[in-house]
Every structure is written in C-alpha cells, then in structure tokens.
Amino acid sequence: MGSSKHRWRFGLLRSPSNLKKPPPPPEFICPISGELMADPVIVSSGQTFERNCVLACMSLSFKPTTVFTTVDFTTVIPNLALKSAIISWCRTNSFSPVPQPLDIRSALTIVQSLIKDSPVYPQTRLSNCLSSTSEDSVVTPAVEICSTRPFYYSSSSSSEIDNPDEEDEQIICKLRSGLMSDQEEAVVSLRKITRTKQDARIQLCSPRLLSALRHLIVSRYSSVQVNAVAALVNLSLENANKVKIVRSGIVPPVIDVLKSGFPEAQDHAAGALFSLALDDQNKTAVGVLGALPPLLHALRSGGERCRHDSALALYHLSLVQSNRSKLVKLGSVQLFLNMIKSGHMTGRVMLVLCNLAGSVEGRAAMLDGGAVECLLGLLSQAEFDVESTRESCLGALYGLSQGGLRFKGLAKEAGAEELLIKEQETGTDRCKEKASKILEVMRQKYEEEETVDWEALLNSDELTRSRFELVYGKGSI
C-alpha cells in the first residue's frame, strides 16, 4: 500500500513583488548621476545625459572625457525618442516610481563631489558615454563615478562654488544652456530679479554670471538679446558693479548691439554705456573699446530714448581728455552745433560742448565751426527750456574765451558784449558769474592787440588752414 501512495507536490505562487525586476538598460542611465534619466538631452559630441547634469557641468566648467573624445556641451537637444523609450520600459516592467527630473541642486552637488574628490584629473573612460549599444557598458552609480575619477576638470577655482545659491545657480546654468527657451527664461528672470532688488544686483554680479551673460548680449533671438542687455543695465546701477562689469569684457558685445542690435536692445545698450561711464575708472576704458563712434551715430539716428542716453554717455565720457580728442577727430563738433541750431536736446548737447571747449583741440574745432556765433545766438533767445541750459551756454563760451584773440574777434563781431552785460544784470548768480568772467577776458589788453587787424584775422585762410590741420591732421577731408 505504501507503494500506491502518491506524493503530491505543491508549488507556491510568487507574488509580483517577489519577482526579480530586470535592471534598466545601460543607455537609460545618466553617466553622471547614475540614475534613470527623466529628461535626457543629447550634447554636441553625441552623448546623452540628464539635462540638469549637463547644466551643472556647464555652470562649473566641468568637462567629462571619454577614451576617444571629450564631451562637448556647445549644443543641447532634447532626446525625445529616448525619453519615450524610458517611460515605455518603466510601464512594461512595472518600474516605480517613474523617474523624475533631477533638481539642479542635486546635480550641482554630484558634480562638486566629483571635483572635490579628484585632485588629479586623468583621462579615464566614462561608462555609457560612448554608445547606447556598447555591450561592455555597465550601470555606474554616482558613488562609483566619484571613486573612479572619470572626469577631466578645467576651472579657475572651486572656492566660489562651495555654497552656491540655488536660484543663482539655476540662472547661470540656464544662461549657459544651448536651448533658446532656457536662455530666454534665464535672462527674463535675471532682469526681473535685478529690477528692484539692490542686494540681488550685487550678489548676482559675479564673474561667472557676467561670463555667461556676455554671450547672450549678441544673441540672434530678439527676446534673449533685449532682456540680456536690460538685465546688464540693472546690474550696472550699483556702483560696486560698474568696474567689475567693464573688466569682465562685456562692453564690446554691448557696443556691437548699439551698432546693429534690435531697436529695443539698442536703447538698453546706450543706457548701459551711460551707466558704466558714470564711474571715473571706466571712462577711458569705454572710449578705448570703441564706444564713441556708435554713440555719435545713435545720437543722430537712434530712437528718442537711445539718443538721450547716448548724449549723457558722451557727456560723462568727454570729461576725460583722451575722449575729447577722439570726439574732435570724429567730427562731433559740427554734429553738436547742428543739433543746437535745430533745438533738439539742446541742454544735453550743450554739456558735451562745455567739456570740449575745455580742451585745446575742442576750442580750435569749435571756433572754426562757428560755435561763438551759434552760442551767442542761442543766448539772445528770451527763454530756455531750463535755466541750466543758459548756464551751460555761458560755460561753453567761457571755455572758448580761453582761445585768446581769435575768440575776442569773433565775439565782438557777434555783439557778445551787449548780451553778456544783460546777463550780468538779469541772470542767475551762476550766469552773472560766468558772464563777468567772459567780459573780463574780452576787456583784457594784450600787448599786440593795438596792431591787430581784426578783419584780416577773421578772414585769414592761413589761420583757418592751420586750425584745421591741428584738429583733423594734414590730408584729412
């Protein structure tokens, strides 16, 4: 009977949770974070990473290197096909939770760990960077990446990034992104933050942010360019930032925008140059970098806001002798005098002429260009828009009065004495003071004055020719 007994075997059904899940395919894993990618992007050199890992590397100037190539982050393109494949795989294999995009703070922490743990940066293979079909590629967690030191790192210093502010880093990362949408979001956010927050303007104005912003100043996308230059204007409002901005190398791109940028961006570019020119340490540098010609052009043909800011920028830049000489050689005197005759922006243009009249070259060009007659004609008008314009007019005449006999002859011919006496009687205290000084110069007796033939002096071709050569150089047209 014992042999007739059957032995029954019962198999236990395993629940789905006890089943061993297949590991994710290697090509679904970000080589930097070691996790499933939720927002994969392809970089210029062909590899795929999690987006914020790329942004973190770009922000920290971190360049992964494979055996055969160095990763190039110049262009970043969403890998939508791979993203769909990852989502499909997760659903098929009941993988949960579904991968979520890595936040920028975590990405920066991972990359910073790589930097800190890698005092020497050998060129070592980075798993999964070569190809998604590589048979020998393996899933490499972030901890293992750190321990094997697979990256090549090139950066000026890591001391600045030990404790990055998350919002600041987010902006910098997106400024350096290859996606226009990221760049636009970053410059709009930067412009908004720096519009009213003084502390933010000082904190954000770092070499790293200025370096990232510099390339977007000349963006071919209108929104990016306009907001980038506007954000720069906001940053330049703080005195502590002005010299830092000029030394960052951002002025040449701003000048390019003033020359040929989008109209609204040109307005902001003129405002940026005006703001930067307020600092005495910047005046010479801005002139040397080539800002004067486009500012003069903007004064002639720019929009109303651009013209006003250009005039103010030229005033502050012309406080420096080297810039005054450049302006004279650029033929600015005739432009300014024509603007005064037309009555457009008289007050601001007069401020520049006051500065030019304080230099030898400026006085010579103004005397030859008919400035005495023009200014006295303006002074004879009964009313000015603002009284400061009348004071500036007298200030320019006083500067010209240092031109000696040439000025005296032109002033007498234009009836200056009568006008100046009237100013002494009815003008403001400043106007009275300046009018008195000019009259004093005119009434001075020079040893050679008794023998001067004023008519011959005023009509002397030789004198005009010598003045022209002094200002513009021989052979100039």
pLDDT in tens, 132-163: 333 333 333 333 333 332 332 233 333 333 34
117-131, 353-367, 407-421, 422-436 — most confident range: 353-367
pLDDT of residue 133: 33
pLDDT of residue 305: 92
pLDDT of residue 233: 96
pLDDT of residue 20: 65
Mode of pairing for the β-strands spanning 48-50 and 40-43? antiparallel
CA distance 280 to 430: 26
pLDDT of residue 152: 29
Classify residue 401 by its DSSP letter: G
Residues 6+ apart with CB under 8 A from 370: 337
pLDDT of residue 384: 66
Answer yes or no: are the C-beta atoms of 146 and 115 closer than 8 Å.
no
Sorted by where each starts, the structural domains of the chain and their CATH numbers stand as 26-161 (3.30.40.10), 165-317 (1.25.10.10), 330-477 (1.25.10.10)
pLDDT of residue 253: 94
Measuring CA to CA, which residue among 176, 165, 269 is closest to residue 225?
A: 269
For residue 102, give both structure tokens: 């890595």
Average pLDDT rounded to a whole number, residues 295-313: 92
Edge-first strand listing for the sheet containing 48-50: 48-50, 40-43, 76-78
Average pLDDT rounded to a whole number, residues 128-135: 34
CA distance 313 to 32: 48
Q: How confident is the model at residue 68 (pLDDT cuts 50, 70, 90)?
A: low
Residues 6+ apart with CB under 8 A from 364: 403, 467, 470, 471
Measuring CA to CA, which residue among 393, 391, 415, 411 is closest to residue 401?
A: 411
Query: What CA–CA distances, in Å, run from 53 to 37, 87, 103?
Result: 10, 19, 9
pLDDT of residue 107: 85
